[in-house]
Amino acid sequence: MRAHARVATELRTLSDGTRRSCVRTLRAEVPLVPRITMAKGPEPWAGGAPEVARVCLAAGAAGPVGGDRLHLDVDVGAGSALVLREVSATLLLPGPEGARSCTVTRIRVADGGTLVWLPEPLICARGADHVNDVRVDLADGARLVMREEILLGRHREASGRLRQRTRVRLGGKPLFHQDLDLGTTDARSPAVSGHHRAVGSVLVVDPEGAVAPQAAHRLSGEAVVLPLSGPAVLVAALAGDNLELRSGLDAGLARLGPPWSPGRAGSTPIGAEAAQEASHVR
């Protein structure tokens, strides 16, 4: 299967003089089906602001399955803000001939634009062989919140192979480059994922500079907050399942404080129900 979807936003001035982020382009091809939605849950930075555009990706078919090639383009226009989420976790499946599948995501955020990208977990089923290639280009004045979560196998299932490639550039210069090759014997090294079945991170880039902590900080469990240049910060975590992983990532965001905290005190963490469901996918 070959599919290409695109989402683009722009900042518009309405007839009453108010300014609002609007979806300018929404192109879908099964299984990539983006839909304009309301807020799905608590959101870092966005906080339910009415001027934010919100889009959810729904799965129009199973997959990616071995041999599939999926391509998603996201363009956030100058001054506009987009919250991009997913309806459910993505299950990576093997194909009938053992071919590799691939998802390519290209993101561009213009000056003054903001992207809050909160996809649900990638679940790498036994026998799958997938490459997830993410490239993000941020203008100097762009803001980003990007979450990545990987679950190695379904409940009590050995994992397939997943190569996660993430490249983020700020103002044309490298900010964050990471390559993970998971589901292999080498990946079980303590230097990669060890015995953990869930791997994830949240990258926050803030042009105003309020986000970056002065030093690295280890949270409870296997989660850490790491300052980057930019200014930016990376929350990284390992866990036994996705619910524990999401809790670690949310704890890192909570440590950054408002407006990055995942929700108000006592509120449900971002997508907690979805995380619990994903951790028990069979």
DSSP annotation of 29 reads B
Give the start-to-end residue ranges of the domains of the chain.
2-278
Cβ 85 vs Cβ 40: under 8 Å: yes
CA distances 3 to 240, 277, 278, Å, are: 33, 27, 24
Per-residue confidence band for 195, with pLDDT thresholds at 50, 70 and 90: confident
**What is the 3 state secondary structure string of 226-271?**
EEECCCEEEEEEEECCHHHHHHHHHHHHHHHCCCCCCCCCCCCCCC
pLDDT exceeding 90 applies to what percent of the chain? 63
Give mean pLDDT, residues 140-144. Answer: 94
Kindly report the CA angle at 206 between 200 and 210, in degrees rounded to 5?
A: 105
Per-residue confidence band for 233, with pLDDT thresholds at 50, 70 and 90: very high
> Does the pLDDT of residue 104 top 80, yes or no?
yes
Rounded Cα distance, 103 and 134, in Å: 8
CA distances 7 to 10, 75, 118, 226, 268, Å, are: 11, 6, 15, 30, 28
Mind listing the pLDDT tens digit for each residue in 270-282? 344 444 434 344 3
pLDDT of residue 122: 95
> Does the pLDDT of residue 123 top 50, yes or no?
yes
Q: Can you point out the beta strands (E) in the chain?
A: 2-13, 19-27, 32-36, 53-59, 69-76, 81-86, 90-92, 101-109, 114-118, 122-124, 129-138, 143-152, 161-170, 173-182, 198-205, 217-218, 222-228, 232-239
Q: Which of 24, 26, 49, 29 has the alpha carbon at shortest distance from 38? A: 49
Kindly report the CA angle at 122 between 116 and 127, in degrees rounded to 5?
A: 160
Per-residue confidence band for 131, with pLDDT thresholds at 50, 70 and 90: very high
- Which helix (H) or strand (E) covers residue 208, if one does? none
Cβ 99 vs Cβ 92: under 8 Å: no
**3-class DSSP state of 99:** coil
**Cα-Cα end-to-end distance for the chain:** 24
Select the more confidently predicted residue: 14 or 3.
Answer: 3
Q: Is the pTM of this model over 0.75?
A: yes
Buried/exposed 149-158: b ≥16 CB within 10 Å, e otherwise: bbbbbbeebe
Best-predicted range by mean pLDDT (151-165, 179-193, 249-263) = 151-165
Rounded Cα distance, 45 and 36, in Å: 19
